[in-house]
Chain A
Amino acid sequence: MILAMAASDAAPETTEPSANPKARRGLALMPAYNESGQIIGVIKSIQAAAPDFDVLVIDDGSRDHTAAEALAAGALVVRHPFNMGYGAALQTGYKFAATSPKHYDVLVQLDADGQHDPKYIHVLADRVLSGDVDVCVGSRFLVGKGYIPPFARRVGMVLFGYIASVVTRRRVTDPTSGYQALGRRVFEYFQLDLFPADYPDADVLILLHRAGFRAEEQPVAMKQNPIGQSMHGGLIGPMFYVFKMFLSIFVTLLREPPPPPPPAR
């Protein structure tokens, strides 16, 4: 059954049977909303940089041809029947990965707008696969180069990075980074309703810490979004972002500690 599923898979990189049956399986997860036109190029660049990874695109109810183009480019596609937001799209990817018969060991999430250079997929994934950490976050500030966001956004990053650093007792330089590798235990855990489905950010780092997961940052280079606006922008203004993140961190700390994840196998 599992073999049949794998063989009938749409992703071309899975048609070749792996030489090593114990090979770790990785999934590259990209939430996308109205990314028609650029999604094909982004998928191709991931397939080139990480040919051993399946690419999963979560089309968050786009009103263009994002899903069809992603499918044509050889990605697995889950399409939301309506727009539900970035966090919900991420969680759909976690649920897909956790319930997939292909038993993915690691999941790397990145933005569909090409902001995240796919050559770091293996850097982040290998840290998780080594077993040293459960989550590896790509930070654009650990190396002083690449795209520097505008001042207002940087203030928020420094502020919430500081709060997250104090709470999690490790240095957090880029709390807003969506470029992350998650181990299987983490994305299985995030199927629960406790995952913040609207706009996950520094509060997720705190949630992970309180659930007992180990996280770290690795330097990555990020490009400026060519369009200038991604799913992170849009109608959510910076003011609401700051308010929501304060509230979210505050109530996350007030809540009972989250249930512990099942022990590692």
Chain B
Amino acid sequence: MPLQQKIVVIGTSVVVCLAIFELVRKRKLREEYSWLWLLAGVLVGLVSLTPFRFLQFFSSRVLGSENPPAAIFFLGFVAVTLLCLQFSVRLSHMTEQVKNLGQKIGILEAQLRMRHTLPPDASLEEFDVLTEDPPASAPADPAEDAPSS
């Protein structure tokens, strides 16, 4: 691999890793997700340091490709796909959790309403933040200010 290419790849790897550390430091990325991305960044750097002859050997013998760059692209694509799959799994899990939470909130509100500890009309309409233009009567109604939710 030409020296210039090596520098570019290693530079990319370092920038990716630094960006991840920065995101974790700012609490924009949870630690539990960061390790996957750090691994990806480090792997990019490692690939550039791998001897070209080994890549040639690997791509021709294992993947059946005479074109090592294509092999690298293929592996990179597989890695990204797996990462996306992992996120879909987590998303499905969270969808389930959110569903259970939403159901519980609805049932608890209904039980409170039945015990008259909640204004009878509380939480029956869309939340204000979600409606584009809230009904004009809403702010004038003192019952709306009650700590309902």
Contact = CB atoms under 8 A, between A and B. Distances in A.
B114 A80 contact: no
A10 B113 contact: yes
Given A65-B125, A88-B99, A197-B99, A81 B115 contact: no
A5 B125 contact: no
Contacts of A84: 99, 102-103
A79 B109 contact: yes
A82 interface: yes
Interface in A53-74: 58-59, 61, 63, 65, 67-68, 71
A202 interface: no
B116 interface: yes
Is chain B's interface secondary structure helix, strand, loop, or mixed overall?
A: helix
A95 interface: yes
Interface string B66-106: 00000000000000000000000000000010011011111
Contacts of B109: 78-79
B124 A68 contact: yes
Contacts of A99: 107
A77 B100 CA distance: 17
B126 interface: yes
Interface size bracket, A side: 20 to 34
Nearest to A9: B114
A81 B96 contact: no
A78 B107 contact: yes
Contacts of A63: 126, 131
A80 B103 contact: yes
Contact of A77 (B103, B104, B105, B110): B110
A256 interface: no
A8 B114 contact: yes
Interface of A: 5, 8-10, 58-59, 61, 63, 65, 67-68, 71, 76-82, 84, 88, 91-92, 95-96, 99, 193, 197
Interface of B: 96, 99-100, 102-107, 109-110, 113-116, 120-121, 123-127, 131
